[in-house]
Chains A and B, each alone.
Chain A
Amino acid sequence: TVESATGGQVTNKDPLNKTFNIYRWNPDKPAEKPHLQQYQVDLNACGPMVLDVLIKIKNEQDPTLTFRRSCREGICGSCAMNINGTNTLACLAKIDRNASNTKIYPLPHMYVVKDLVPDLTRFYKQYKSIEPFLKKKTAPKDGEREHYQSIADRKKLDGLYECILCACCSTSCPSYWWNSDEYLGPAVLLQAYRWMIDSRDDYAQERREALQNPFSVYRCHTIMNCTRTCPKGLNPGRAIAMIKKEMAL
């Protein structure tokens, strides 16, 4: 049953129980193999998103279930996981009320710290390696306080700056699965492109030259899993193609 917040008439909803198969692994008992644990949740007493289900399970059924979460509105990128085969943010993934069960896995081909928490250390290191900050060759002149940028130049950054580094795209890329040591992955390359085409940045040529090797960019074979899975609707595949185009001089 559902309680009404205003204290008015309450419609009694029959419990709609669905199964959730969630990947579990405990590093405190490493010999135990990872397994899928089933949970039954009444969807009529729960919020609409997968994150609501996870929090409900953690609150009511199993407090040991471990997952990252923060903003619950799809802007922080913490709750990235694989839901029914697709990498999305749990806080933006609506529960399929018609499906009999929902499978929740951590991001694919990542070392698992615990349950649904992947180890994103290398991902962050790769992001750091592209130097994601503004670099100027000349010091600002006296009195100049802002880096001016035209509206047209600012428009070029639309679709690039919104990346929340959730790692959904990189972990959906087969090339990143097989070569995550050296291939940078769509998320990092999207940001590399964002800094390359920022008109305020003076080091575009050097940024391009830093990627001149067979692995950092050119492991991309336009599989396009990244664009398909981005929970923010960005297009890393296109950004990588633009990098290749800019480098093809």
Chain B
Amino acid sequence: RASAFRATKTIENGAEYIKGTVNEAVVLPPKDKVAGSYHWDFERLLSLSLIPLTIASVVNGAHPITDLCLGVILPFHCHLGFDAMITDYFPSRRSPALNKVLTWSLRGATLIALYGCYEFNTNDVGMTELVKK
């Protein structure tokens, strides 16, 4: 067959456009509330909760509950921050391999941080004491 590819494409309302030219629409990424607004909400929630938490640990000193909360919220907060940087500078559409490598190593690092905080809080002085020193 002479033309196995079609230069034009027809969309739902019957209009036609030539592929690759100005009339081809921009394709938005698929809708996903979890990756969209819920992600943003969660990010802000963590950031906001860190404020009273930090003030409490500065004012009250070391306390198991604030240390526990800090030890969980801080690694998650940092994870979200670094994850945003990875999506900014190594988005999966542009550098799929590097994005995967970085995302998984970030997840690993966050898990290690979580475990480390847990260990530190239970068996050692605790995060607030550490900062005080």
Interface residues of A (CB under 8 A from B): 121-122, 124-126, 128-129, 175, 178-179, 181-182, 209-219, 221, 244, 247-249
Contact = CB atoms under 8 A, between A and B. Distances in A.
A106 to B, nearest CB: 19
A210 B29 CA distance: 9
Interface in B73-93: 84, 87-89, 91, 93
B36 A214 contact: yes
Contacts of B30: 213
Which 9 A-B pairs have CB atoms at the shortest separation, nearest pair first? A212-B36, A213-B29, A125-B26, A247-B37, A129-B26, A214-B35, A212-B31, A212-B33, A248-B41
B40 interface: yes
A58 to B, nearest CB: 27
Contact of A213 (B32, B41, B44, B88): B32
Given A182-B93, A210-B31, A125 B25 contact: yes
A217 B28 CA distance: 11
B22 interface: yes
A80 B21 CA distance: 23
Interface in B31-82: 31-33, 35-37, 39-41, 44
Given A212-B36, A216-B28, A248-B41, 8 more contacts: A128-B26, A178-B88, A179-B91, A212-B32, A214-B32, A215-B29, A221-B84, A248-B37
Contact of A121 (B22, B29, B39, B40): B22
A213 B40 contact: no
A125 B24 CA distance: 8
Looking at A126, A181, A213, the one whose CB has the most chain B CB atoms below 10 A away is A213
Given A182-B91, A212-B31, A213-B32, A218 B40 contact: yes
Contacts of B32: 212-214
Contacts of A121: 22
Interface string B7-32: 00000000000000010111011111
A211 B25 CA distance: 16
A11 B40 CA distance: 63
Nearest to B21: A121
A207 to B, nearest CB: 12
B37 A249 contact: yes
Contacts of A215: 29, 87, 91
A134 B32 CA distance: 25
A124 B22 contact: yes
Looking at B26, B28, B39, B89, the one whose CB has the most chain A CB atoms below 10 A away is B26
A178 B89 CA distance: 7
11 contacts: A128-B25, A175-B88, A212-B33, A213-B30, A213-B35, A214-B39, A214-B87, A216-B29, A247-B36, A247-B40, A249-B37
A247 B26 CA distance: 22
Nearest to B32: A213
A242 B44 CA distance: 15
Contacts of B31: 209-210, 212-213
Looking at B32, B36, B89, the one whose CB has the most chain A CB atoms below 10 A away is B36
A217 B88 CA distance: 12
